[in-house]
Homo-oligomer: A and B are copies of this chain.
Amino acid sequence: MIVTMNDIAKKLRVSRATVSYVLSGRSDGLVSEATKKIVHSAAKEMGYRPNRMAAALIKGRTQMIALLVHDFHPAYYSYMIHHVCKQVEGTDYHLNVAQVGAKTSPMEATYWPVDGVMAFDCAPFIDQLPDNLLASVPVVSFGGSYSTKVDHVGVDIYEATLSVVRHMVDIGRRRIAYLVPKSDCCSGSARHDAYCTCLREARLDPMFVQVDEPRTVLQREAARNVVRALFRGRQNPEIDALFCFSDEMALGAHLALRQAGVSIPSDVALAGIDGICDGEYADPPITATRQPFERMAETAWQFLSRRLEDKTLPRQELVLVPPLIVRGSTVTQTLR
């Protein structure tokens, strides 16, 4: 049923080695043109498909790169996956996108032996990895949550947050709340610390609007519900700006505010972090810092491919500060 090199060799009455040479393209001058042709056509005709496992086993390299993410769905992740794919596409490597998280244990995510790992937004996971693994397989960590133990392309979320919150102060807001998943509402979290710092500088009081849902998939809906509850009835919480943990949450808040009859930005200014394009399509479009998706994907892959060629390279590091994109959710703009 399944055709192997042996089958081809037997049928053609040549040795396995010859077939191997031809089919793997290492036959430079070793094998006659005639045999080459015969082997190729036999392989095609018999429907031969190389067993990569066997090749990988002996070569010690799988040509496989694992891209580790928390999830596939929210646009923030799928953007990044998309861009990383574009980088790896056309190289000799194959991308294996795998989820890490609560249900998928770290070890399972790297279930397959891979030549390299690209870990997006999951520093804790990297830090959890056993040292011998870290030593034996190149890892590049990238995203807002990056590990400094390995090559990394980071995003400075602290600075990003500063620029968003300062922008809110600059446009005259005084009651700036922070819409945040409960699990991230603690010092040590870059957004939290930057938010607090910024408000302290401006002599304003922090206000936390906490959302229960930590799972990124439902962040938008969860944020919407919390903000809806907040503005329900006449208990207007006297908020005039809402800084959101993510654009997903900003989108949820956006809908809740509109439905509560709250005007954006005149009543409440809204801004997020990420810069997924959905924010641009909202009305008014949402102010946010924009993750340099392409740049990150490109650099992360560059770091990894270099490392793949030379394991002794010194640590490669880059930290980017995402630019603030001011849109209609904080500043009244005329439509273009």
Most central of A78, A82, A252 by chain B CB within 10 Å: A78
Q: Taking the nearest CB of chain B, how far is it from the CB of A19, in angstroms?
A: 18
A217 touches B52 (CB 8 A): no
Known: A72-B97, A81-B73. A1 touches B112 (CB 8 A): no
Residues on B with C-beta less than 8 A from A278 are 278, 281
- Smallest Cβ-Cβ distance to A336: which chain B residue: B259
**Smallest beta-carbon distance A125→chain B, Å:** 16
A104: interface (CB < 8 Å):
yes
Q: Residue-by-residue, is A185-199 near B (CB-CB < 8 Å gives 1, otherwise 0)?
A: 000000000000000
B78/A73 in contact, CB under 8 A? yes
Q: Indicate whether A335 reaches chain B with its CB closer than 8 angstroms.
A: yes
Shortest Cβ distance from residue A196 to the other chain B in the assembled complex, whole angstroms: 30
CB distance B103 to A89 under 8 Å? Answer: yes
Taking a contact as CB atoms closer than 8 A, the residue among B79, B111, B135, B277 that contacts A1 in the complex is B135
Interface check A96, CB cutoff 8 A: yes
Task: Render A1-16 as a binary contact track against B, CB cut-off 8 A, 1 for contact.
Answer: 1110000000000000
Closest to A72 in B: B81
A71 touching B62, Cβ below 8 Å? no
User: For A73, what are the chain B residues with a Cβ–Cβ distance below 8 Å?
Assistant: 75, 78-79, 81-82
Q: Is A99 an interface residue (CB 8 A)?
A: yes
* A312 contacts the other chain (CB 8 A): no
Q: Which of B89, B97, B281 contacts A97 (CB 8 A)?
A: B97
The answer to whether B254 touches A281 (Cβ under 8 A) is: yes
Would B47 and A113 count as touching, CB distance under 8 A?
Answer: no
Say yes or no: A53-B47 contact (C-beta < 8 A), given A108-B94, A283-B258: no
9 interchain pairs, CB-CB under 8 A:
A47-B133, A51-B113, A53-B53, A72-B82, A82-B217, A94-B108, A94-B111, A282-B282, A283-B283
User: Which 7 A-B pairs rank lowest in CB-CB distance, beginning with the nearest?
Assistant: A47-B132, A73-B82, A78-B78, A72-B81, A73-B78, A97-B97, A53-B53
